[in-house]
């Protein structure tokens, strides 16, 4: 139910995005915290920023907090001079960087694009791209760093007051937000306050009564967020390390509630995380991955998918991952594994296939896997046409000392070309597996060859077209046909696929032996 609701929300929220009055669509950062030039785009109302430590996640969050003039805020709130302070002692030569700093913002509005820039040379000043009479857009902003909570600072002194602290009940919507996530049913939740000091006090229907000094970190975080966020409308919500203290299932429920709240109250929410569960809770185009390379440069990496994302976030330590280029490559590998798995008694979850990543990205992935200690769990599998390219050398260079396996699919062209040739070469066995009479299959092969005989496309595109037409006739997917053909070829000793099968089988068995 949660998965289906999330996907429904993704569609609804993306459709509502153009109607936000001032949607923060882009932030650019130059010259601060080791970031030379970084542009981060927000394509969805609930965005998740991920990356390793010191990759710039919090810097982006703080920069976003400077995008708006906040009603009721003090002159020193939500401005870069406060969020990016400098160490400037009167004595000594240890001072923060004095260079120019630029924070630029693009906004999407129903009337078109708008722009604003903060720039610091000697002091901070604002500009609006030359637009006369322009001003900083107004919007409520909520900024929270859950990794370093400060709400209970000095609250113990409240217990020594001669008078009772003031009390404010959380309203129904605030408590409802928390109860949809936490396994508790509250009779009431009250904020006790004295001056600037405050703490929450909860009473459960079960009879339990306790202050937040006795709450688990997760319960406290959820109640604080419910208190602060549930009443906001048309606001920018910024939360650092949103998963802090929360069980994975609670993280998923929290992200579901965030997106429901964003849809209902016109909120734009940006969070940072180290959690793959939080990442999975938003669509791929809402996932922003920051990377800092060996030279300290920070960049936005295209959204990781499948096994790549899982590996970088620690979910594949006991899995051997085969990284290939596309659906057809995956289908061929599935056909091979259909034979290898029962033959070698390999558990289904031990080997996983990742796809939808171009070969040119493999070296970048290899470097990331090495950095996160995952490179030994990967095998890179390229299309046969890449055998004479320099991709292999780049992968090995990126992987460093680890000689990561690089294998090739059979054939010297795109894998679809090889599949079509093998289908024509052994139609008798393929017809039975595909549920088609031999004569019928031969007729279809002959028909497609005749149709595409004069086509001016590449050999690869022609083969793709033939397979697609055949799949339509069979009412099966192209991937299903390729998997069947590959599985049949594994049983043919003279097939060109045998080299890949033998190498892959050896790698899997060796990887298993090293871990048992």
For residue 156, how far is the Cα from the chain centroid? 40
CB-side neighbour CA atoms (13 Å) of 206: 7
| Total residues belonging to the chain | 516
**pLDDT of amino acid 515:** 77
CB-side neighbour CA atoms (13 Å) of 29: 26
| Cα first-last separation, the chain | 37
**DSSP run (H or E) holding 414:** none
Q: In whole angstroms, give the CA distance from residue 197 to residue 151.
A: 8
**pLDDT of amino acid 269:** 95
For residue 7, how far is the Cα from the chain centroid? 15
**pLDDT of amino acid 435:** 86
Name the maximum alpha-carbon separation found in the chain: 96
Pairing of strands 124-127, 46-51: unpaired
Query: Domain 2-139+234-301 carries which CATH code?
Result: 3.40.50.300
**pLDDT of amino acid 208:** 81
- pTM above 0.85? no
Q: In whole angstroms, give the CA distance from residue 330 to residue 343.
A: 20
Q: In whole angstroms, give the CA distance from residue 167 to residue 430.
A: 76
**DSSP run (H or E) holding 352:** strand 351-354
**pLDDT of amino acid 304:** 62
Decide: 442 and 470 in contact? Cβ < 8 Å: no
Is the torsion defined by CA of 197, 223, 225, 147 positive or negative? positive
Nearest to 441 by CA among 476, 414, 492, 493: 476
Decide: 320 and 326 in contact? Cβ < 8 Å: no
Nearest to 50 by CA among 363, 303, 245: 303
**2-139+234-301 and 306-410+498-515: same fold?**
yes
**DSSP run (H or E) holding 462:** helix 459-474
Domain spans in the chain, listed from the N-terminal domain onward: 2-139+234-301, 155-227, 306-410+498-515, 415-490
pLDDT in tens, the chain (516 residues): 578 888 888 999 999 888 888 899 999 999 887 788 999 999 999 999 988 777 888 889 999 999 999 998 888 889 998 888 876 666 666 666 667 889 999 999 888 888 999 998 878 899 987 787 788 999 999 998 654 334 444 444 455 555 677 888 888 888 888 888 887 788 888 888 777 777 788 888 888 887 777 777 777 778 888 888 888 889 999 999 888 878 888 888 889 999 999 999 999 999 999 888 898 899 988 999 888 776 778 888 766 666 676 666 655 567 888 999 889 999 999 999 999 999 998 887 789 888 866 788 888 888 878 877 788 889 999 998 888 888 999 999 988 866 799 999 999 889 999 999 999 988 888 888 888 899 999 999 999 989 888 777 888 899 999 999 999 998 999 999 999 999 999 999 899 999 999 999 999 999 888 876
**pLDDT of amino acid 138:** 92
**pLDDT of amino acid 95:** 61
Domain 306-410+498-515 has CATH 3.40.640.10: no
**pLDDT of amino acid 98:** 66
């Amino acid at each position: 139910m949660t998965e289906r609701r999330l996907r429904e929300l993704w569609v609804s929220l993306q459709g509502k995005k153009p109607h936000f009055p001032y949607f923060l669509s882009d932030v650019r950062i130059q010259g601060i915290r080791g970031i030379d030039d970084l542009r981060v785009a927000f394509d969805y109302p609930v965005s998740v920023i991920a990356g390793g430590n010191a990759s710039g996640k919090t810097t982006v969050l703080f920069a976003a907090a400077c995008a708006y003039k906040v009603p009721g805020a003090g002159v020193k709130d939500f401005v870069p001079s406060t969020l990016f302070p400098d160490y400037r002692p009167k004595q000594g030569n240890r001072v923060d960087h004095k260079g120019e700093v630029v924070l630029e913002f693009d906004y999407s509005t129903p009337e078109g694009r708008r722009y604003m820039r903060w720039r610091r040379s000697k002091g901070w000043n604002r500009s609006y791209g030359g637009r006369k009479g322009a001003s900083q857009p107004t919007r409520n902003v909520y900024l929270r760093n859950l990794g370093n909570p400060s709400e209970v600072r000095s609250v113990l002194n409240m217990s020594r007051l001669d008078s009772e602290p003031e009390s404010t009940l959380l309203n129904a919507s605030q408590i409802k937000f928390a109860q949809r996530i936490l396994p508790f049913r509250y009779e009431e939740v009250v904020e006790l306050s004295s001056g600037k000091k405050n703490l929450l006090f909860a009473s459960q229907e079960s009879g339990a009564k306790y202050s937040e000094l006795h709450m688990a970190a997760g319960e406290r975080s959820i109640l604080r967020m419910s208190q602060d966020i549930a009443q906001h409308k048309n606001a920018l919500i910024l939360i650092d390390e949103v998963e802090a203290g929360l069980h994975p299932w609670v993280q998923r429920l929290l992200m579901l509630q965030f997106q429901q709240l964003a849809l209902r109250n016109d909120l734009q929410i940006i969070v940072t995380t180290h959690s793959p569960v939080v990442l999975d809770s938003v669509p791929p185009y809402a996932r922003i991955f920051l990377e800092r390379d060996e030279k300290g440069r920070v960049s936005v990496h295209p959204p990781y998918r499948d096994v790549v994302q899982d590996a970088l976030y620690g979910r594949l330590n006991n899995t051997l991952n085969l990284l290939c280029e596309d659906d057809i490559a995956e289908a061929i590998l599935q056909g091979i594994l259909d034979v290898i798995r029962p033959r070698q008694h390999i558990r289904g979850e031990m080997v996983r296939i990742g796809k939808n990543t171009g070969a040119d990205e493999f070296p970048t992935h290899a470097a990331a896997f090495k950095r996160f200690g995952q490179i030994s769990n990967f095998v890179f599998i390229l299309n046969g046409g890449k055998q004479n390219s320099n991709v292999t050398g780049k992968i090995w260079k990126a992987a460093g000392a680890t000689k990561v396996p690089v294998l090739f699919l059979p054939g010297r062209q795109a894998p679809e070309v090889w599949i079509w040739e093998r289908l024509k070469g052994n139609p008798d066995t393929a017809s039975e597996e595909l549920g088609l009479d031999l004569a019928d299959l031969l007729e279809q092969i002959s028909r497609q060859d005749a149709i595409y005989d004069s086509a001016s496309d590449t050999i690869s595109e022609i083969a793709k077209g033939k397979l697609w037409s055949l799949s339509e006739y069979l009412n099966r997917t192209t991937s299903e046909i390729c998997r069947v053909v590959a599985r049949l070829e594994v049983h043919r000793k003279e097939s060109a696929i045998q080299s890949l099968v033998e190498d892959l089988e050896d790698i899997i068995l060796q990887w298993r032996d090293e871990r048992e």
